[in-house]
Structure 1
């Protein structure tokens, strides 16, 4: 079986925000358990970016809207033939639990970390290249020299009101990704375009490419249509669209 590389592209702002937060939470969870101070630095930088996104976007309300919409969709299909009542009930229970946890958060998501003076100082210097050096932030340098367990506990404390958002985003995106089966498509001369149903546009497109092809997709799109260009990387040259016909797997995800 050939190895298939999967690429994703969001088709609305809500999904774009969720994917970015998913990426940052995964990066945080990779580095936070590691004892080295450089890993703690990487986890801290991920946390600061999570806080920045949640400060700009009303993630709490966006999540609640998406969870409510998904609950309504699933309740409508409960009586359809072929629906597994047990599996549906488990998903509904997970969604309701996630919604109730978000509702129980007192204040905006990420407020604990956002109002922490230590994190504020790190975030301000972090925007400067090399600005988190020990002489710039001696308090950070001192904190990084503390035992790993102490640093990890502090990281966990900052995420208390962010973890429910992480769990809700993971649940929402898992349902979106599983909402449709992949289909075979062909990009003629490396280009593919598809119009979308304007009333119920997909939230996400997933593209599967044979790893041995040496190609990657560049996607542009919005709620009405999307296009894909398959690009090749030649050494010491700018990427260029391939002139070959490229078979690939396409999934238009809508839940």
Structure 2
């Protein structure tokens, strides 16, 4: 679908209201970086792809992420299965989603041990991690083996990256599936922030995963969101000098999605 050239583009600001959703968003962000940089031939893209892969392995070092993913995938399967007999439900689409959830569960369960364990146990990758904490520490004289890898033919380098990321591919599939369900679980409403501030209390009977705020990209504003399971607040900020952002003192219309699933 083409966008209307007369309508301003919208920038979406997302804020997780649970620790699990925070982790899914961070992993998705890193996988997007990996996906973008991996196909390119240039050394700087290869460096960025490697950095994203190592950051994924670092995030996955938390022992409970595997169980959290499985628990959430199972919870969504049970929750969505109950909708099968509800009026107005697209059962073909629901069946497709449930199949994807089941496939993701199986993919995560097939990973033996802790997620990302093989990456963290690789001596070559560990040498890059250890030097990366030093400013400029991944230069050629510090990591000659990394320099050699960066200058390998693209086809060989890509094959090796694919081999390393194979272990975490089920995680990417699961995270993207969960985030897709979360993001589409709410219909955006039009709201207005008086004097650049908006606050909303949340019912304790629902599990709100994420808040999504949309404002025109040309508004000169950004949304600063904070909150937890009981309430959230949004401050619309402007920054003219890129040092000291201030809350706007006028009414700001925006779209709001409170994602519950």
Which interval holds the TM-score relative to the shorter structure? over 0.9
Q: TM-score, normalized by length of structure 2?
A: 0.95
2:164 to 126, 138, 158: 158
Cα distance in 2, alignment partners of residues 155 and 61 from structure 1: 26
Does structure 1 conserve the Cα–Cα contact (< 8 Å) formed by 2:39 and 2:158? yes
Cα distance in 2, alignment partners of residues 139 and 131 from structure 1: 13
1:201 to 203, 207, 225: 207
Cα distance in 1, alignment partners of residues 225 and 31 from structure 2: 24
Cα gap change, 1:102 to 1:237, in 2 (>3 Å): closer
Instruction: Indicate the residue corresponding to 1:235 in structure 2.
Output: 241
What runs of 5+ residues in structure 1 fail to find an aligned partner? none
Does structure 1 conserve the Cα–Cα contact (< 8 Å) formed by 2:63 and 2:114? no
Cα distance in 1, alignment partners of residues 48 and 243 from structure 2: 32
Cα offsets for 1:34-92 (capped at 9, x unmatched): 11111110000111111110003522111101100100100111111111111111111
What runs of 5+ residues in structure 2 fail to find an aligned partner? 1-6
- SS state at 1:108 partner: coil
Instruction: Indicate the residue corresponding to 2:39 in structure 1.
Output: 33
Cα gap change, 1:237 to 1:170, in 2 (>3 Å): closer
Cα offsets for 1:151-195 (capped at 9, x unmatched): 111111111110000001001100110001000111100000000
After TM superposition, list the pairs within 5 Å mapping 1:89-128 onto structure 2.
89-128=95-134
- Give the CA RMSD over aligned residues: 1.0
Structure 2 residue 56 is the aligned partner of structure 1 residue 50? yes
Instruction: Indicate the residue corresponding to 2:23 in structure 1.
Output: 17
Cα distance in 1, alignment partners of residues 150 and 66 from structure 2: 31
- Runs of 4+ that moved beyond 3 A: none
Cα gap change, 1:22 to 1:214, in 2 (>3 Å): same
Cα distance in 2, alignment partners of residues 243 and 106 from structure 1: 54
Q: TM-score, normalized by length of structure 1?
A: 0.97
Instruction: Indicate the residue corresponding to 1:244 in structure 2.
Output: 250
